Amino acid sequence: ALQLDKAGVVWSEDGGIKVDGKLRTSASHIFAAGDCLGGLQFTHLAGYQGGIAAFNALMPVGASAPKPEACPRCTFTHPEVATVGLTEGEAKAKFGEAAIATVRRLDHVDRAVCEGETDGFIKVIHTRKGKVLGATVVAAVAGEIASELGLAIAAGAKLNTLAGNMHAYPTFSFALFQMAGELKLQGLERSSTLSCLRRCCGRRLRGAKAA
C-alpha cells in the first residue's frame, strides 16, 4: 500500500483523493490524477489529467485541471450515445427558463441520410444568449460531436462561435453549424437591428418608386 495518509494526503467525502485546481494534493509534493480522484472515470479524462499533473509537478507555473463539465461521456452502442456538460434536466434545474434545448433530428442531417443512419438526434442545451451548457447526442459518431461541444463548454463559447466556424460538408458535425446558424438568424429577426434595416429599406423603396 502507498500509505498516502502518512504522507499527509487527505481524502474527499466521496472516497477520492482531494486535489486543488492544479491537481496538487494536500501534500504539496504529491499530485494525483485519474480514477483515484473519484467522480467521472474515463480513460480520456484520466490521460488528460495525468498530463496536467506531470506538467505541474515539473514546472513552476502550473496549468489548470480540465473542467469536469467539459468531459465527453460516450457509450459505444449503435448508434452511440454521448453527453457533455449539463443534461436538459440539470440545466433547467440550475437556470430555469433561461436554459433552452435545441434539437436536430438526424433525418434532417444530410450525412446521416446518405449513410442510412437517421436514428438519433443532436440536442444542444444553451442559454438565451447562446452560451453552450451541455449536449446529448445519439448518432453513429456521437462521441466526435460531443467532443466539439465539450471544447465550446471549456472555452465558455456561444453558439455564434460554431456558426462562425467553417465545417466540412457533408459531415455529421455540419449539423452543429446549421443549428447555430439558424439560432443566430432567429436572434437577428428578434433584434432591433433588423427592424431598423427594414425601416431603412422601406424608405429607400418608397423613394425609388416616387422617383
DSSP string, the chain: ---GGGGTPPBPTTSSBPB-TTSBBSSTT-B--GGGG-S---HHHHHHHHHHHHHHHH-SSPPPPPPGGG--EEE-SSSEEEEEE--HHHHHHHHGGGEEEEEEEGGG-HHHHHHT--S-EEEEEEETT-BEEEEEEEETTHHHHHHHHHHHHHTT-BHHHHHTS---SS-TTHHHHHHHHHHHHHHHHHSHHHHHHHHHHHHHHHHHHH-
Q: What is the pLDDT of residue 192?
A: 67
Confidence of residue 200 (pLDDT cuts 50, 70, 90): confident
Task: Kindly tell me if the per-residue pLDDT of 17 is higher than 90.
Answer: yes
Instruction: Specify whether the CB–CB gap between 173 and 108 falls below 8 A.
Output: no
- CATH number of the 71-190 domain: 3.30.390.30
Task: Kindly tell me if the per-residue pLDDT of 205 is higher than 70.
Answer: no
Task: Kindly tell me if the per-residue pLDDT of 184 is higher than 70.
Answer: yes
Which residue in the block uniquely carries the three cell numbers 499530485? 31
Looking at every residue in the chain, the average pLDDT score rounds to 90
Segment 145-150 mean pLDDT? 95
Question: What length is written for the chain?
Answer: 211
Higher pLDDT pick, 187 / 75:
75
Q: Where are the domains of the chain?
A: 4-58, 71-190
pTM of the model: 0.80
Higher pLDDT pick, 145 / 15:
145
